[in-house]
Amino acid sequence: MSILAYADADALGRVLSVDTATVIVRIDDVPKLRSLQVNRLVVLQSSLAGQHLIGIVQKITRTAIEEKAEVADVESSELVHPEVNLVRVTLIGTLIDQVGAKSNVFRRTLETVPEIDANCFALEGDKLTRFMQVISAVSGDGHRLSLGVYTLDPAAEAFVNGNKLFQRHAVVVGSTGSGKSWTTARLLEQIAQLDNANAIVFDIHGEYGSLKGDGFHHLRVAGPADIEAHRSIADGVLHLPYWLLSYEALVSMFVDRSDQNAPNQAMVMSRAIVQAKTDYLTKGGHADVLANFTIDSPVPFAIDAVLLALEALDVEMVPGSGGREKQGDFHGKLSRLIQRLESKRGDRRLGFLFPGTTATQDYGWLDGLVAALLAGRKAKGDKGGVKIIDFSEVPSDILPLIVSMVARLAFSVQQWLPSGARHPVALFCDEAHLYIPENASSGAAENSIAVFERIAKEGRKYGVGLVVISQRPAEVNRTVVSQCNNLIAMRLTNGEDQAVVRRLLPDSLGGFGDLLPVLDTGEALVVGDAILLPTRIRIATPTNEPLSGTIDFWDRWADAKASSDLGQAIDSWRRQTVVK
Ligand SMILES: Nc1ncnc2c1ncn2[C@@H]1O[C@H](COP(=O)(O)OP(=O)(O)O)[C@@H](O)[C@H]1O
Ligand SMILES: [Mg+2]
């Protein structure tokens, strides 16, 4: 039974002309015409039985016939109508009643075009709801991801296919205040309800701390106060020791690229790190690892040993000619590297990288971290499968290094799992322009871009999905964005950003770009293989709203009692810890 069973009498009008994928429909019934709007869906009778063509209304015109010379195909007998109402429709796909054992299959292909005089019907109400469910391809009893409702017909709930959305990556874009964080929260809340959900959220501003429920596990990168209080992963506090950084990441952190000795410093550092890792493995009796590890292997090492080795080389004297001593190859060339290393190690804000405790140096410590980051929720009572990591205390210059360290960790673990044992994980990258930039301005950014490009290109194979969220799509790495097959575009006012989003739209839907600046807050244009049918969707509000960092200037200025303790701020600044 077709979900699009219409009676001829329901027709809005008839097809007047057909041109590949564009159809002109003539509507004589004025009340019916009034109910029609641009961007609404219509159904056209196909020349094949059991098929219906689906189109989007592009343009509606109402023209007095006397002035309308170009409407030549209007027969003189129809001149009793003083006006002709024409609707231009772009065909976007075909709904087939039966394909093999499957009923109601939607395809983005057009095997036929409508014939002249074919009926055109409005697609709305129950029919639209049922049609939207077909579109999401998971209609029936599967897990459907509900975004909200279809803007032009609030009776129709809009679903996306939760498999496809994460398999082929997604981007969520929109100017600040357009509703990205709320949309993200809406997605996360539904993911969190699944028994074995597995997602990591890079929460850069600590906005998602308000999401509640068993399905969430809140973690934060240790700030100075956490270090002082010796909090650990059991308290939801993450330490991300330096030895988890890749060699390139370590170099970008400690070696100043503009230093003329930079290549020497990087080389000496690599030798010292390999030596320190070798010592660590030898002492621990890990002969099997010792034989095969690389500089990038996640093996702890003593940063102090590296520092000592560098210091020795920096002042080294070697035997020269005539029994006199001369300066070693690296004499004086490592001073700035040593200085940078020491200052970073002593920086209180970087306590999560250089923990004072020895726990993170334990060989088995990584197991606990990986379990916290990648475990799904296997049983009720276990920590949630949606891990929200608050990065708000990480200094912005090294944010790309730290976010990409976690992303690389997740990706590597997935890669090293046997294919049958991989449990898919989605990485939600909020404020992605901050750490996956289009223009790398530092070694840290370059490192991060490399990690995320790799995940964007190869993640699908290993069950790692990316959700890239940004207010500045033009400033997010192009390669990463172009690998995203699903687009959730919210209101976007900047021209450069609009241009990037237009390029993500399929050609036939280029006109959707015009909608970007006029979308309402909380409204999105959703295009991609998770949805099949490009639609404008009003995103439903999440149960728990993300925390907005917005301060109401006027209200606060108008508040008679408003006060702030400036002395306390200075105290906190000096101590690098928020003094309460
Ligand atoms: N789906 C929605 N429905 C209704 N209001 C919304 C919706 N999404 C966002 N808003 C409103 O817009 C504000 C900004 O949303 P937010 O998601 O923080 O924007 P962004 O992350 O894009 O800067 C919210 O505080 C809320 O008032
Ligand atoms: Mg936001």
First to last CA, the chain: 67
Q: How far is CA 569 from the centre of its chain?
A: 35
How buried is 508 (Cβ within 10 angstroms: 0-12 exposed, 13-18 middle, 19+ buried)?
A: middle
Tokens for 181?
């964080």
CA distances from residue 358 to 34, 243, 302, 362, 503 in whole angstroms, order as listed: 73, 13, 10, 7, 50
pLDDT value at 70 more than 70? no
Q: Looking at the domain assignment, is residue 144 inside a domain?
A: no
Q: Do 437 and 489 lie in a common domain?
A: yes
For ligand 2, the distance from its centroid to the CA atom of residue 439, given in whole angstroms, is: 22
Q: How high is the mean pLDDT of the chain?
A: 89
Shortest-distance Cα residue to atom 11 of ligand 1: 179
Q: Which of 273 and 138 is assigned the larger pLDDT?
A: 273
Tokens for 51?
């098929």
For ligand 2, the distance from its centroid to the CA atom of residue 176, given in whole angstroms, is: 7
pLDDT bracket for residue 129 (50, 70, 90): confident
What's the CA gap between 267 and 273, in Å, rounded? 10
Q: Do 216 and 365 lie in a common domain?
A: yes
What's the CA gap between 131 and 83, in Å, rounded? 33
Give the dihedral sign, CA 519/485/417/239: negative
Q: What is the percent of the chain where pLDDT is above 70? A: 93
Residue numbers of the domain that contains 196: 160-240+359-547
Atom of ligand 1 lying closest to residue 182 CA: 17
- Could you tell me which of 535, 540, 547, 504 has the C-alpha nearest to residue 129? 535
pLDDT bracket for residue 143 (50, 70, 90): low
* Mean pLDDT for the stretch of residues 159-179: 93
Q: Which of 513 and 280 is assigned the larger pLDDT?
A: 280
pLDDT value at 113 more than 50? yes
In DSSP notation, 61-111 reads EEEEGGG-TT-TTS-GGGGGSSEEEEEEEEEEEEEEEEETTEEEEEES--S
pLDDT bracket for residue 140 (50, 70, 90): very low
Q: Do 213 and 332 lie in a common domain?
A: no
Q: Do 192 and 263 lie in a common domain?
A: no
pLDDT value at 505 more than 60? yes
Q: Which ligand is nearest to the CA of 172?
A: 1
Atom of ligand 1 lying closest to residue 179 CA: 17
pLDDT value at 577 more than 80? no
Q: Looking at the domain assignment, is residue 527 inside a domain?
A: yes
Q: Looking at the domain assignment, is residue 424 inside a domain?
A: yes
- Could you tell me which of 216, 124, 172, 198 has the C-alpha nearest to residue 539? 172
Q: Which of 507 and 512 is assigned the larger pLDDT?
A: 512
pLDDT bracket for residue 514 (50, 70, 90): confident
Q: Looking at the domain assignment, is residue 65 inside a domain?
A: yes
Q: Do 277 and 384 lie in a common domain?
A: no
pLDDT bracket for residue 576 (50, 70, 90): confident
Shortest-distance Cα residue to atom 4 of ligand 1: 522
CA distances from residue 525 to 97, 145, 173, 486 in whole angstroms, order as listed: 27, 16, 10, 11
Of 310, 341, 372, the residue that ends a domain is 341
- Could you tell me which of 394, 496, 414, 411 has the C-alpha nearest to residue 451? 411
pLDDT value at 11 more than 80? yes
Shortest-distance Cα residue to atom 16 of ligand 1: 179
User: For 285-316, where are the alpha helices, taking DSSP H only?
Assistant: 287-290, 303-314
CATH number of domain containing 59: 2.40.30
pLDDT bracket for residue 139 (50, 70, 90): very low
Contact 252, 442 (CB under 8 A): yes
Lowest-confidence segment of 4-8, 203-207, 246-250, 396-400 by average pLDDT:
4-8
SS3 track for 452-476:
HHHHHHHHHHHCEEEEEEECCHHHE
Q: Do 116 and 88 lie in a common domain?
A: yes
Of 123, 150, 169, the residue that ends a domain is 123
Q: Do 197 and 72 lie in a common domain?
A: no
Counted domains in the chain:
3
Q: Do 489 and 371 lie in a common domain?
A: yes
Tokens for 133?
């469910």
In terms of residues, how long is the chain?
580
Q: Do 219 and 252 lie in a common domain?
A: no
Q: What is the percent of the chain where pLDDT is above 90? A: 59
For ligand 1, the distance from its centroid to the CA atom of residue 488, given in whole angstroms, is: 14
What's the CA gap between 380 and 532, in Å, rounded? 35
Q: Which ligand is nearest to the CA of 203?
A: 2
pLDDT value at 418 more than 50? yes
Query: Residue 319: helix, strand or coil by DSSP?
Result: strand
Q: Which ligand is nearest to the CA of 177?
A: 1
* Mean pLDDT for the stretch of residues 267-292: 94
Number of other residues whose CB lies within 10 A of the CB of residue 316:
15
For ligand 2, the distance from its centroid to the CA atom of residue 167, given in whole angstroms, is: 23
Contact 474, 461 (CB under 8 A): no
Pocket of ligand 1, beta carbon within 6 A: 174, 176-182, 521-522, 539, 541, 546, 548
Number of other residues whose CB lies within 10 A of the CB of residue 207:
23
Lowest-confidence segment of 17-26, 72-81, 496-505, 539-548 by average pLDDT:
72-81
Instruction: Give residue-wise pLDDT tens across range 441-489.
Output: 888 999 999 999 999 999 999 999 999 999 999 999 999 999 999 999 9
CATH number of domain containing 457: 3.40.50.300
Lowest-confidence segment of 197-211, 306-320, 389-403, 556-570 by average pLDDT:
556-570
Q: Looking at the domain assignment, is residue 537 inside a domain?
A: yes
Q: Looking at the domain assignment, is residue 352 inside a domain?
A: no
For ligand 2, the distance from its centroid to the CA atom of residue 179, given in whole angstroms, is: 7
Q: Do 385 and 427 lie in a common domain?
A: yes
Q: Looking at the domain assignment, is residue 2 inside a domain?
A: no
Residue-level pLDDT at 81 = 53
Q: Which ligand is nearest to the CA of 176?
A: 1
Lowest-confidence segment of 80-84, 171-175, 283-287, 436-440 by average pLDDT:
80-84
For ligand 2, the distance from its centroid to the CA atom of residue 547, given in whole angstroms, is: 9
Residue-level pLDDT at 563 = 73
Q: Do 328 and 299 lie in a common domain?
A: yes
Q: Looking at the domain assignment, is residue 577 inside a domain?
A: no
For ligand 1, the distance from its centroid to the CA atom of residue 133, given in whole angstroms, is: 26
Q: What is the DSSP letter of 36?
A: -
For ligand 2, the distance from its centroid to the CA atom of residue 456, given in whole angstroms, is: 22
Instruction: Give residue-wise pLDDT tens across range 259-268.
Output: 999 999 999 9
Instruction: Give residue-wise pLDDT tens across range 173-221.
Output: 999 999 999 999 999 999 999 989 999 999 999 999 999 998 999 999 9
Ligand 1 probe mutation, 178, 182, 210, 434, most atoms within 8 A of CB: 182
Ligand 1 probe mutation, 521, 537, 551, most atoms within 8 A of CB: 521
Residue-level pLDDT at 73 = 56
Shortest-distance Cα residue to atom 5 of ligand 1: 522
Q: Do 334 and 380 lie in a common domain?
A: no
Residue-level pLDDT at 198 = 95
* Mean pLDDT for the stretch of residues 56-84: 64
Q: Which ligand is nearest to the CA of 151?
A: 1
For ligand 2, the distance from its centroid to the CA atom of residue 468, given in whole angstroms, is: 12
* CB environment 420-441: b (16+ within 10 A), e (fewer): eebebbbbbbbbbbbbbbbebe
Shortest-distance Cα residue to atom 15 of ligand 1: 179
Contact 176, 472 (CB under 8 A): no
Residue at 100: amino acid letter: G
Shortest-distance Cα residue to atom 9 of ligand 1: 179
